[in-house]
Structure 1
Amino acid sequence: MKLKEIAHSRTGDKGDISNISLIVYDMKDYELIKEKVTAEKVKEYFKEICHGEVKRYEIDSIGVLNFVLDKALGGGVTRSLALDKHGKSLSSALLEMEI
């Protein structure tokens, strides 16, 4: 299944860092995404654009995984001409991940 079937996402960006939150629709699916969507898998998924570390933070009380991708935006919004690499687009891309 694709992540978009059980979760939605919010994003933000500052400079060359993208922040992607993955939020389950139903708490029964939270343990599944905790198991399947690791920092390493997200790093591999975005390997073409993420040239830094990926950190994962868990917010168990509300069913959220937050990923911080360093060096992922081509230098940042004001330095990159590739609009599709900015934070807002990365959330849609992550939701296409097969788990």
Structure 2
Amino acid sequence: MLEVVWATALERSAGFTRLWPTVIGVTAAALSFVLLTFALKTLPLGTGYAVWVGLGAVGVAVMGIVALGESAAPARLACLMLILVGVVGLKFLDG
């Protein structure tokens, strides 16, 4: 969730020219990094980072589709599903 918050807030910050979206975005990003460090205590680096980035990317894309009216073309949705399949595969198949 923090990935969606910081990406959306930074988009709304208009290049760091609006104070509150900038503060929210930077704070959410910092908290997200902190939580990633906790996850990396038990997950391998490659898996942890891929899951973090993959779920963040899908979350931000879904936010764009649902809340901002971005394209929900079938090919785009299929690509997002491929990211999710890859994340799930990394998480459950990592030995």
Normalised to the residue count of structure 2, the TM-score between the two structures is: 0.29
Bigger Rg over Cα: 2
Normalised to the residue count of structure 1, the TM-score between the two structures is: 0.28
Between 1 and 2, higher relative CO (CA 8 Å, sep ≥ 6) is seen in 1
More strand by share: 1
More helix by share: 2
